[in-house]
Structure 1
């Protein structure tokens, strides 16, 4: 800890002296203090002060390298000093009106009062500056050692003040691997419906951090078991009732959590939110497509199509960026495509289409497909893995031969117009699609071969002038 604090000491001590010289208090607080004790710290520092935002701006104007005021309505001033990003927030308390989606902010006068309104005791520790006095009125350090999330005061009051804290409990379970205190979990369960007053954007941010945490399974279990998921991600608890068609898992919910974990294991270079969300949502179409077949089997025909639609709707309602919605939905739609490959029956044309349909998501589709194999039959799992290895090898070979990811017809629009003697318009578009399909089916045939085929196609369809 001492080594980590020495790293941040220069900037926070300097800031502490700056505020003290003008008669104001300031303290390092919240996650910044918690993370020092956990042996990790980034470049973002949280501080709290009795100075009002306008005064904070005045105090740091000549000290900071840059300043931003996007959060000033909530009492927060942002600043950069060297490589450090700081958020300085005036002592405050905030609560929600039952009919409002935005918190009401009231400024406080003491550090102890500010700590009392924090979400969890592990985030209610502070270090007064510049003297470095450790302040822990709610036993946060003990909770940190016990790896438990407990609210500073009664959890019902804390969650009523800001219902988003219930989601934060699940998020910290994922990020830190901590357990939620039984009293807090009971309050989450009893008050789950209160989360609906919180804006979609704030809910999205917490869910995204949860999914990208080190232990997303733990966070998701808290959401589902408390009933919160029914309000913010209802597709997930609905999976608990659906029996996996392979009868290898208790239900599709368990299967989904395993797929998510296996997808995480395949990541390279940190959390991949697109892959993780796709793994979480890949089977959400099963409840709507469940059918009981002869012999006791259960089928979920076209659940990937329905799942993609549900995914698009849910992520859209959570206000995810359009590109994220599109990518996750597309992966859900494509996640079953490999199962038509059999033991290698696909033609080169089918392989080309697989790559074309996946586009920039191909590597993620590889990982999702592999993660989706959760059979306990070791021989079957190994056979599936070998088959997918073979498919990837074929893709690599075709890519090397044809630059598969950049497949285009061998004739461009201008050449099509010249050969057919037609102006720009729908005919050129239809011809382009014909040539692209031919390229997928036959590979490279050369410009002369493509031109000959184009003329024949145009003649058959009455498109020649």
Structure 2
């Protein structure tokens, strides 16, 4: 009878099936030339998890020059953009592979840049990798499984360890600590005690990593099916203090009477609920196909203005007046510091600014004017705002939750009706800039902009009234302006 290990290996090899013939053929080429070749890292890990991997990363005893010669004869085209790190790439029959010479790097611990040195054996190459679950390999073409650091056992136990001692591994490359959080989110791996302790000790060293690399790891974490475990790890180890300090700052001290929520836990719950409201990946834009980074960032950061706006009121109450405005500014500053693109920065900060707008209308007695302004202010973010607002309800009072949901249901029906009647998505004044200038006898400039804004307010407040009525309102407004 096959052992559990043999069965697991057979399943992994079966998962690699579509690529196996191609990989075995390439392995034959390297062996014939007197070299070793192995599939390594993520593709091997994913195969044991029953997942196919888009990346096919291989490692070899061949030098970059020898690798390039073999790949040039085997593939359809080759590239050497990673030559300095020993990596040569090729594509064959639509499949991309990258082959890297065994590495035995040393690290400049002031900048995390490796001093590239090539190695001479697979086991040492695997030791320099980030985690044991990524330090497994399949030799090609023999399919011999190589696992010198117990990665398969760790994968089965959902345990995260490093091949080298964790303090050494993280000192070599502090970004690995963020990858630990990402793997916690994506693969439900729990750090070993040594990994956790090293993360706490070395958390400040993350500051030597570029903002762009931190941003990319944070984004990957947030796009996981369940980011909460990874975010908790960032906060609990102190990493978040250096990359996203607004998140641990949400752990506000709860007053003895529990008159306000734990904002940190509330924010994680809002994130969970926002994810649950995303549409399928192939859904239409109005369904907010998941995973949606803008919605998830907004859900996580929507209350980061609360620490700066918290006030203790007479009688024991707590207020956070205008925290959405303060939070929008903090969000914009943090995302810019992390080098997010302008579109993402503006979208997330706008959602944070608008997340309380629904509650500003009290018991739901919305006028048509209020609905128009809500839609116009949200613009293309309306579908995300719907989901953020609904996700922000974390009350344990079932009656209150049902009332809020029903009120928002009614608002969405009102929006749909007005959109059908008035094309709210493209709401504009009923007179364009040229027509306004002609009626008032003015030239383009600040005064024309002010007149345009006035007519936009008329449109939002009263709906379509026709060009003639709009011109009358404009003349009346102009007459008042001339008086002042």
Same fold (TM > 0.5): yes
TM range (shorter): over 0.9
Greater shift after overlay, 453-462 or 223-232?
453-462
| Aligned-residue CA RMSD (Å) | 2.0
Corresponding position of 1:176: 187
Give the Cα separation in 2 of the matches to 1:390 and 1:228. Answer: 43
Shift of residue 68, structure 1, vs aligned partner: 4.2
- List per-residue Cα deviations over 1:256-311 (Å, max 9, x = no partner): 11111111111112311111111111111111111110111111111111111111
Corresponding position of 2:164: 153
Shift of residue 248, structure 1, vs aligned partner: 7.4
Corresponding position of 1:51: 62
- List per-residue Cα deviations over 1:131-182 (Å, max 9, x = no partner): 2111111111111111111111211111111111111111100000111111
Check whether the contact 2:109–2:172 (CA below 8 A) recurs between aligned residues.
no
TM-score using structure 2 length: 0.91
Corresponding position of 2:346: 326
Corresponding position of 1:166: 177
Check whether the contact 1:155–1:184 (CA below 8 A) recurs between aligned residues.
yes
Is 1:97 matched with 2:117?
Answer: no
Corresponding position of 2:41: 30
Give the Cα separation in 1 of the matches to 2:370 and 2:458. Answer: 12
Corresponding position of 2:370: 350
Corresponding position of 1:199: 210
Give the Cα separation in 2 of the matches to 1:95 and 1:230. Answer: 28
Shift of residue 67, structure 1, vs aligned partner: 4.0
Is 1:259 matched with 2:270?
Answer: yes
- List per-residue Cα deviations over 1:3-30 (Å, max 9, x = no partner): 3121121221222223223322221110
Change (3 A) 1:351 1:72: farther
Match of 2:419 among 383, 399, 411: 399
Shift of residue 245, structure 1, vs aligned partner: 12
Greater shift after overlay, 380-389 or 190-199?
190-199
Is 1:445 matched with 2:445?
Answer: no
Runs of 4+ in 1 over 6 A off after TM superposition: none
Give the Cα separation in 1 of the matches to 2:358 and 2:82. Answer: 47
Is 1:454 matched with 2:474?
Answer: yes
Matched residue SS, 1:319: coil
Match of 1:432 among 444, 452, 465: 452
Note the residue ranges of structure 2 that are not aligned, 5 or more in a row. 1-10, 282-289
Corresponding position of 2:72: 61
Corresponding position of 1:302: 322
Matched residue SS, 1:77: strand
Match of 1:283 among 285, 293, 303: 303
Check whether the contact 1:239–1:287 (CA below 8 A) recurs between aligned residues.
yes
Matched residue SS, 1:89: strand
Give the Cα separation in 2 of the matches to 1:317 and 1:93. Answer: 34
Shift of residue 415, structure 1, vs aligned partner: 2.0
Match of 1:228 among 223, 239, 245: 239
Give the Cα separation in 1 of the matches to 2:77 and 2:476. Answer: 66
